[in-house]
Amino acid sequence: MSRPITAHVALGANLGDARATVRDAIAALDRLPQTRLLRASGLYRSAPWEASGPDFINAVAAIETTLGAHELLHALQALELQAGRERPYRNAPRTLDLDLLLYGDAVIDQPDLSVPHPRLRERAFVLLPLAEISPALVTADELQAVADQVIERL
């Protein structure tokens, strides 16, 4: 059996009952095979970033898993589909968006998976909830760089 890895997942939704969807998705992470939820941030509201539609509800979860990075990505995509995720065009409004932010210390640069997530450090809706649950992973300078982005902790 593989050694457990701590991974961080960003969650977001802006269609339907987004709060309930994000809460349900956090619980679903704990039910993934070979995975357990370590901690989850509170919920945040943010305006769409390079996207359209209503405000997003966002959170970040830390999980421990023995799934490989690609296995985890596929499990996250399956959760998105179960929540009714469609991809009619880039950055379309969504019922659920799950992004693998970090997979331990791994650096992966493949067509279907980039870890650390390439836009992780550009988005307040990721950095603030990440800093809430794993403060050592986010610097004060990074938080300052996104301070002009509108985000509200719910």
Which listed residue (31, 45, 55, 85) is catalytic? 85
Amino acid at 115: V
19 flagged as catalytic: no
Terminal CA-to-CA distance of the chain, rounded, Å?
A: 39
97 flagged as catalytic: yes
Which listed residue (39, 55, 90, 97) is catalytic? 97
85 flagged as catalytic: yes
Residue 28's region, left for phi above 0, alpha for psi from -120 to 50, else beta, is alpha
145/139 Cα distance (integer angstroms): 10
153/23 Cα distance (integer angstroms): 14
Cβ-proximal residues to 79 (8 Å cutoff; 6+ apart), any chain = 25, 28, 29, 32, 96, 98
Catalytic residues: 85, 94, 97, 99
